[in-house]
Structure 1
Amino acid sequence: MTLVERYLNAVRFFLPHRDQDDIVRELSENLSSEMEDRSQALGRDLSEPEVADILRRHGHPALVASRFAPRQHLIGPVVFPIYLFALKLGLGAALVVTVVLAVITSALQGVSVPVLFDGLKAYPTRALLVFAWTTLGFAAVDALGARAGFAPDWDPRRIPDWMGGRRQASRLHDRLQAGTEVVFGGIALVWLLLVPTSPWLAMGPLAAVLAFAPIWSVWYAPMVAVAAGNFLVDAYGLVRPTRTPRRLVLKLLLLGAQLGIALMILSARVWVVVAPHPQPGVVPAETLPALLTWVNTGVAIGFGVMVVATLVEMGKQYYRLRTLGRTPDR
């Protein structure tokens, strides 16, 4: 691939899909005309440094693309997939925090349904804040990235493969997503390892009066193994972002194990019990039965959502496995 072809591919990378062919064709004609005039003036073919100098004076691919197609979005195509992934995680985390806080607050006030619903009504506000800060943060990252490395003395011969190559952004997207999964997967794994000795991480103040049911001791080790497996697969994807059949099959096996564990835990029907020595004064004794019902119902709903989410993710991974190699960017 020639230097000009890499440059045109890099410009294409920053253009809206519907305008890519027309704009790249026009730019190619302009460059060809300029290089032909320069070659005729010198009476010989241009050397690579001379071609690079013309491309450098033409401008960085991102700036050239912005002149042809003005920026009309807050978050560009490179950052958007990871933004969407982070937004989903943030909204999900906000929902979990809202539900947990609502249940705990309700339990501490005598399992009051109005208090529970008052706590749940805080979710729209939290979700809006998550959306706003996530969007602003990624917009800032995208804007800074769009302006980075655009100095007048930039070198066209150093256009990265993910920008100037035929595969374009697929590997970069995979690496960004893998990086996010590694961060959140690592946090989840550490949390899972700490919960047995610090149950307040899972139950908050209710850990003073509640305890984990025996089912957790049966499936705890498999849960840690699956979480560690997912973390290692994602970490490998961060180093080598190319999708391979072996990696996708391994991901499917881990998701299958996760689904099986979730279904087995769901079949227990009791996940939280009264602590052997509950601390007095945390929750009124007469409200403990109702509190157990609320908490166990919440656990059932949570694992039900996990089952559905796991099935959806398995479908995605299976589709990727079936379509692997059918498109040029995979």
Structure 2
Amino acid sequence: MDLIDRYLNAVAAQLPQSERADIIAELRDMILSRFEEKEEALGRPLTEAEQEDILRDVGHPLVVAARYGSGPQHIVGPELYPWWMFAVRAGLIAIVAITVLGAIVRVVVGDVEAGRAIGQAFHSIFNGAISLIGFATVGAYIIERQKEKPRFLREWRVKDLGLFEFGGNLNAEAVSRGLSEGDWSARPAGKGKARAASPTVRALGSAVGWGVILLWWVGWLPLTHTTPEDLGAVVHGVDFGRMLAEMHGLLYWPVIAFALVRIAFDLTRALHPKGVRFTALGDVGFGLAEAALFVWVWLYSPMSPVVFVPDVESFLDRVRAMFETGWWPLPSILMLCVAFGFLIAVSKIVGALGRLVTGRDRRLIDASN
């Protein structure tokens, strides 16, 4: 087998079967033409080394075969790269926030020493970052090979650009607001009040936040030392780790279903930002689900024995004892968290019912100003 055949066989192996014969025939004619031109210039047959030089000028078989491919010759192209980078940066911030929170909780409850918690946090952030970049790159690869680019690349509105100011305002307040409210808009410099984010921005921010939480919940975001059931320890004889592990098992599929429905809802309202009543109806449903969760935690969950109090008087007695003694036991802190979580869920329901009845959203008006 001469050099040309060996070279063309290597190229052919990278080509689709249906186009292989035509492409190889074209390449063979081109290479033979170059050989003949070189031989005429030299006045003698080419040596093997000279043939190698010409074939190297034609290109490596992998590169030559790629020229005949139907798709783009890159994973993330220049048009999509800024979006890819922004998504990775926002995701990394969410990963860091979740990991740091988990490390702080574990140190506070005495589950691990501070030095070990810091080391594990770095390890978890690194693993999470690798997975995040991998998921983002796979998504970009798929988008790049679509016949028609997604609408967010072709059709965008100036009203929704507040989301992208987030990149220049990375701070704890912005991260907290984004994860809790889906509001990733920037706070204008020199002003005490944050500009209202547009409905599309709030919807996309909420979808991203719930997406990260879902990946963490199912273990696909490998924050290996801050899994849900690991955020606990034995404190004063109470095995909070066991309680959280049992709750994670009981809530595993309900939380997955809730998160998937929430993400689908957020993406839908991002496409229809003026659907005030649709958004309000969804918020009522999610608020009821959240309120039901806190009622379950209070009355029936494995954590109920440490947070439940039978009446308002008993609740106030525990709160008063914390302030009078200056000792804040973990069961009382969890009791307050569940109670306030329930009140916040109820307030969301009330606000959503108001928007459902009136068909008006004050945040929508503020965002348009």
Q: TM-score range by the shorter chain?
A: 0.3 to 0.5
For the pair shown, the structure with the greater C-alpha radius of gyration is 2
- Calculate the TM-score normalised by the size of structure 2: 0.36
Bigger relative contact order, structure 1 or 2 (CA pairs below 8 A, ≥6 apart)? 1
